[in-house]
């Protein structure tokens, strides 16, 4: 974790405006030479965008149902007869409660904005609730979505869900019936000194593939919470990571170092050679612990989001800033867009299974910026931290 940081990430920052008091912020190591990051050609074929429609088209609903689960899923637990509700049912309950709590906290911080809500369902079961607050006083765009989805994955979507880029490890020959439930949120504040937050927690099950009847059902949990600032303050970074560690330590002291590294490795923009932000925790395909324990862990992480993030927003949302600070934030958001569209597994999975496009792309900021041949100076304190030179 870096020490105190006040300059922006990766690219050359604008001159700090005199209205902002940066005296509490400490300097970082700098380098003496000027470096240019090589421009790499972008291929439109790097991102497959044609969806294989494997789940039914959504239908708009006027009211939120009590549950999106099929009736056969919400009574008995698949793992323990002593549990009154299935893991599917309890996970859905948890993500819907978390959505309500996070949305309420966001509206309070905004002081006037309110969420637009879309409820949707599918004829064969499943559905979701998408909520977006846009152009508020504090939030440029805040999206908090929950979904419960049944469908059949083509083999390439199964590989995307499992992160099997090469197509060999764990791939199945035929279409794979699946169940997925999750909460996903990206919060983009207006103020350049207030960081973007992403969190996502999900539960996934696959049934036997159609060409392999009798194969065992597989299940796994995934998720994480990560912070992406344009300007970094030491107290914010320490607070955020402390909350992540506390949530992990309640279940296993090895979780935080393991999932922090996983987060750093996952949110890496390969074609830029840059990290997307300052990390947090990330885990996926997690099924090597007791199912009840992992359900509890996912619940604890979800409930920690407000405690980890909202104190930072309260500290930074009214910080004075200039147009130059805003332009820098837009450049950093361009990097955010690049990662989500090129590398993010959730985005890839949604596009390949014919998911609801508005919900899939709600993570993108309202505005972003790209400058041709922008040069990174090695005297930028973030150059050392993010490139490791």
Q: Which residues are catalytic?
A: 198
Copy the structure tokens of residue 19: 């209205």
Which ranges of 116-252 would DSSP assign to H, the alpha helix? 155-162, 234-249
Task: Detail the DSSP E strand segments found in the chain.
Answer: 59-61, 116-121, 126-134, 139-153, 176-189, 196-206, 218-228, 268-269, 274-275, 280-286
Q: Which residues contact 81 (CB under 8 A, 6 or more apart)?
A: none
Alpha carbon separation from 363 to 96, 117, 121, 130, 338 (Å, rounded): 18, 15, 21, 12, 12
124 phi/psi in degrees, rounded to 5: -85, 5
Look at residues 309, 310, 301 and name the one whose alpha carbon lies nearest to residue 282: 301
Distance CA 33, CA 184 (A): 41
383 phi/psi in degrees, rounded to 5: -60, -45
């Amino acid at each position: 974790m870096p020490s105190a940081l006040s300059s922006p990430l990766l690219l050359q920052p604008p001159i700090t405006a005199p209205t902002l008091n940066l005296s509490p912020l400490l300097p970082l190591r700098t380098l003496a030479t000027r470096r240019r990051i090589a421009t790499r050609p972008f291929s439109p074929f790097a991102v497959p965008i044609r969806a294989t429609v494997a789940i039914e088209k959504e239908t708009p609903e006027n009211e939120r149902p009590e549950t999106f689960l099929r009736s056969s899923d919400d009574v008995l637990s698949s793992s323990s007869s002593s549990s009154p509700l299935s893991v599917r049912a309890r996970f859905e309950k948890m993500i819907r409660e978390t959505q309500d709590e996070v949305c309420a906290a966001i509206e309070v911080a905004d002081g006037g904005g309110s969420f637009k809500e879309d409820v949707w369902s599918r004829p064969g079961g499943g559905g979701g609730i998408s909520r977006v607050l846009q152009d508020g006083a504090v939030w440029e765009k805040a999206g908090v979505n929950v979904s419960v989805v049944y469908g059949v994955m083509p083999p390439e979507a199964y590989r995307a869900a499992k992160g099997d880029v090469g197509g060999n490890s764990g791939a199945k020959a035929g279409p794979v019936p699946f169940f997925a439930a999750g909460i996903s949120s990206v919060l983009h504040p207006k103020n350049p000194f207030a960081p973007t937050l992403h969190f996502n927690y999900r539960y996934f099950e696959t049934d036997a593939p159609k060409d392999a009847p009798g194969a065992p059902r597989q299940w796994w949990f995934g998720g994480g919470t990560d912070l992406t600032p344009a300007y970094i303050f030491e107290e914010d970074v320490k607070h955020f990571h402390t909350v992540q560690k506390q949530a992990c330590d309640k279940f296993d002291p090895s979780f935080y170092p393991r999932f922090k590294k996983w987060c750093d490795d996952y949110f890496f923009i390969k074609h830029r050679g840059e990290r997307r932000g300052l990390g947090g925790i990330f885990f996926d395909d997690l099924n090597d612990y007791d199912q009840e324990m992992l359900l509890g862990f996912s619940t604890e992480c979800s409930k920690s989001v407000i405690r980890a993030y909202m104190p930072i927003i309260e500290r930074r949302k009214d910080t004075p800033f200039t147009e130059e600070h805003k332009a820098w934030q837009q450049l950093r958001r361009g990097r955010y867009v690049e990662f989500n569209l090129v590398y993010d597994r959730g985005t890839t999975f949604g596009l390949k299974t014919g998911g609801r496009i508005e919900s899939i792309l709600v993570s993108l900021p309202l505005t972003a910026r790209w400058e041709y041949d922008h040069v990174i100076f090695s005297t930028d304190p973030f150059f050392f931290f993010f490139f490791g030179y």
